[in-house]
Amino acid sequence: MAGEGSGSVLGGVPGAPPGRPGADPGRRFRMLADLVSDGEVVVLSGAGLSTESGIPDYRGETGRVRRAEPMTYQAFTGSAAARRRYWARSHLGWRHIARAAPNAGHRAVAELQRRGLVAGVITQNVDGLHQAAGARDVIELHGGLDRVRCLSCGERTPRELLDRRLHAANPGWDARAEAVNPDGDAVLADDRVDSFRVVDCLGCGGLLKPDVIFFGENVPRARVQECYALTERAGLLLVLGSSLTVMSGYRFVRRAAEHAVPVVIVNRGPTRGDADALLRFDAPLGPALTALLSELDPEP
Annotated binding site: 46-66, 124-127, 150, 153, 201, 204, 241-243, 267-269, 285
The yes-or-no answer on residue 142 being catalytic is: yes
**Residue 24 · residue 284 · CB < 8 Å:** no
pLDDT at 6: 46
pLDDT at 107: 98
pLDDT at 9: 55
Query: How would you write the pLDDT of the chain (300 residues) with one tens digit per residue?
Result: 333 344 455 554 433 433 344 457 789 999 999 999 999 999 999 999 999 999 876 654 444 444 456 789 999 999 999 999 999 999 988 988 999 999 999 999 999 999 999 999 999 999 999 999 999 999 999 999 999 999 999 999 999 999 999 999 999 887 676 666 667 777 777 777 888 999 999 999 999 999 999 988 999 999 999 999 999 999 999 999 999 999 999 999 999 999 999 999 999 999 999 999 999 999 999 999 999 999 996 654
Instruction: Indicate if 227 and 109 belong to the same structural domain.
Output: yes
Instruction: Indicate if 236 and 131 belong to the same structural domain.
Output: yes
Instruction: Indicate if 165 and 43 belong to the same structural domain.
Output: no
Domain that holds residue 192: 73-100+145-212
**Closest among 223, 269, 210 to 249, alpha carbons compared:** 223
Instruction: Indicate if 274 and 131 belong to the same structural domain.
Output: yes
Residue 62 lies in a domain: no
Q: Which of 91, 96, 106, 142 is catalytic?
A: 142
Annotated binding site for Zn(2+): 150, 153, 201, 204
Residue 282 lies in a domain: yes
**Closest among 185, 224, 187, 269 to 44, alpha carbons compared:** 224
- If residue 29 lies in a helix (H) or strand (E), which one and from where to where? helix 25-37
CATH number at residue 289: 3.40.50.1220
Residue 68 lies in a domain: no
CA distances from 14 to 21, 51, 163 (A): 11, 23, 47
Instruction: Indicate if 227 and 262 belong to the same structural domain.
Output: yes
Instruction: Indicate if 200 and 154 belong to the same structural domain.
Output: yes
Residue 67 lies in a domain: no
Residues in the chain: 300
